[in-house]
Amino acid sequence: MSYYKVILKPKKEESLLRFHPWIFSGAIQSIDGKPQEGDVVDVYSSDKRFLATGHYQIGSIAVRVLSFTQIEIDNAFWQERIQAAYTMRLALRLAGTEENNTYRLIHGEGDSLPGLIIDIYAGTAVMQAHSVGMHHARHQIADALRAVLGDTIQNIYYKSDTTLPFKANLDNEAGYLYGGEADDTALENGLKFHVDWQKGQKTGFFVDQRDNRSLLEHYAKGRSVLNMFCYTGGFSFYAMRGGAKLVHSVDSSSKAIYLTKQNVELNFPADPRHEAFAEDAFKYLDKMGDQYNLIVLDPPAFAKHKNVLRNALQGYRKLNAIAFEKIQPGGILFTFSCSQVVSRENFRLAVFSAAAQSGRNVRILHQLTQPADHPVNIYHPEGEYLKGLVLYVE
Ligand code: SAH
């Protein structure tokens, strides 16, 4: 039980009774005590019924719920949640197989741990906190991880320097909590890649595209592939295994291009089918010819906030319009949006406008999303963020 009590305004408990894990600051009537950001608080309805326990935050989301029953947030709590997540990954055959030692173990709200991400790369767990509460709990979480995963991990790297609220003024936001000096090679569906969890984007690799990369492999045979926004080259090495005729990887970051080349080399040494270019997407797309018949567009989130949504949709439309214009007849386009604020419908509409602009006959072959180790809590639909379309362009 927490010392701090957050009491909601009348009728503001409704979303909590439907297990939505966020409490907005506008729903709060009063607070007993003076919690600091990151403290554990108990939440009550206006008629003093217990509703939830969670981490207190400064901001529009004031509490992120950890439990809807009145329990202690102690070692046993962390261990039980992490065990539940691990059990599911084992059951899905994502963890503990010979082919794959890369998976997301904890996906925030999707695993009932709002504000916490943990990705596993072979013997290393990379932990990322998006809330001060998770930051404070990092050592307890690391202990629980070791208790659940045992010998399967030798290192825990904490990487929260870009994800924690800047104003919270915290220390020790990045570094090893356990181990160190790890081999940075991991395996996804039998393909090898290096992960730079210290300096790379997110936790070092985009684990969420695994299933979509597999689908691309399936269509790659004999095709000329453009992997635009390639980052560390995930789609490229799958395309090569799938028998692509040539694969061109493009990213504006030269570090990403360096990593892509390394990763392709790791799987297909000295294979002349692959080339990589450090260049801006729009520049490359504008000047390229019509040599490609399989194009991947996996841009960074164009909209991080609701107020830039319109611009983001324009961005998706423009980007896809060039691909529709240039892809060969019979070409296949894999196009994605990872912006959480762009809905599935809006994204489809943007791609639809781009297709119409090109005047070509376009069919939707697949509608893609995030994989099973990035589960969406059914009470928190906001957790669905990755959207993709696979299109056949006549
Ligand atoms: N497809 C990748 C993930 C892409 S993340 C994977 O499967 O791992 C988005 C990438 O877009 C980043 O690597 C970033 O460097 C790159 N990027 C951002 N803006 C860009 C631009 N204007 N042109 C080209 N690449 C860009």
Which pLDDT tens digit goes with each residue over 49-98? Answer: 999 999 999 999 999 999 999 999 999 999 999 999 999 999 999 998 99
Query: At residue 307, does pLDDT exceed 90?
Result: no
Tell which wins on pLDDT, 305 or 227: 227
Q: 297 CA to middle of ligand 1, Å?
A: 9
Q: Is residue 195 part of a domain?
A: no
Q: Relative to the CA of 209, which ligand 1 atom is closest?
A: 7
Residue 86 sits in the same domain as residue 139: yes
Query: Do both 259 and 345 map to the same domain?
Result: yes
In a domain, 220, yes or no: yes
Q: Is the pTM of this model over 0.75?
A: yes
Looking at residue 212, its pLDDT comes to 98
6 C-alpha vs ligand 1 centroid, how far in Å? Answer: 42
Q: What is residue 373's predicted lDDT score, i.e. its pLDDT? A: 98
For a mutational test of ligand 1's pocket, the pick from 191, 231, 283, i.e. the residue with the most ligand atoms closer than 8 A to its C-beta, is 231
Q: Which of 1-10, 77-86, 150-159, 292-301 has the lowest mean pLDDT?
A: 1-10
Render pLDDT for 104-117 as a digit per residue (tens, 0 to 9): 999 999 999 999 99
pLDDT tens for each residue of 146-171: 999 999 999 999 999 999 988 888 88
* Spatial distance between the Cα atoms of 181 and 179, rounded to a whole number of angstroms: 7
pLDDT at 171: 87
Nearest CA to ligand 1 atom 13: 231
The answer to whether residues 313 and 252 belong to one domain is yes
- Asked whether residue 283 falls in the same domain as residue 346, the answer is yes
Domain boundary among the residues 67, 87, 103 is at 67
pLDDT-derived band at 242 (thresholds 50, 70, 90) equals very high
Average pLDDT on 124-148 reads 98
Q: Mean pLDDT over residues 318-346, rounded?
A: 96
Pairwise CA distance, residues 185 & 286, whole Å = 35
Instruction: Round to whole Å and give the CA distance between 126 and 50.
Output: 34
Q: Looking at the annotation, which residues are catalytic? A: 338
Same domain, 11 and 132: no
pLDDT score for 304? 74
Count: domains in the chain: 3
269 and 376 share one domain: yes
Cα 187 to Cα 222, 224, 234, 258, distances in angstroms: 25, 25, 11, 19
Task: Tell me: do 236 and 150 sit in the same domain.
Answer: no
Same domain, 183 and 241: no
Measured in Å, residue 230 CA sits from the centre of ligand 1 at 6
Q: What is the CATH number of the domain that holds 370?
A: 3.40.50.150
CATH code for the domain in which residue 109 is found: 3.30.750.80
In a domain, 277, yes or no: yes
Residue 267: its pLDDT value, please? 98
User: CA dihedral in degrees (189, 208, 319, 352; nearest 10)?
Assistant: 100
In a domain, 194, yes or no: no
Distance CA 300, CA 297 (A): 10
Which residues have CB under 6 Å of ligand 1? 206, 209, 229-232, 234-235, 251-253, 256, 280-281, 298-300
pLDDT digits 0-9 by tens, 272-288: 999 999 999 999 999 99
Q: What is the mean pLDDT of residues 291-311?
A: 90
Residue of minimum CA distance from atom 7 in ligand 1? 234
Residues 322, 297 share a domain: yes
Flag whether pLDDT at 129 surpasses 80: yes
Q: Among 162, 216, 251, 260, which is best to mutate for testing ligand 1, by the most ligand atoms less than 8 A from CB?
A: 251
pLDDT at 328: 98
CATH (domain of 20): 2.30.130.10
Q: pLDDT value at position 240? A: 98
Structural domain boundaries, residue 18? 4-67
pLDDT at position 165: 87
Ligand 1 centroid to 137 CA: how many Å? 32
The residue nearest atom 10 of ligand 1, judged by CA position, is 229
% of the chain at pLDDT higher than 90: 93
Distance 342 CA to ligand 1 centre (A): 18
**Is residue 381 assigned to a domain?**
yes
Residue finishing a domain among 31, 46, 67: 67
Ligand 1 atom closest to the CA of 206, numbered from 1: 8
Position 181 confidence tier, pLDDT thresholds 50, 70, 90: confident
Higher-confidence position of 31 and 1: 31
Residue 167: what pLDDT? 81
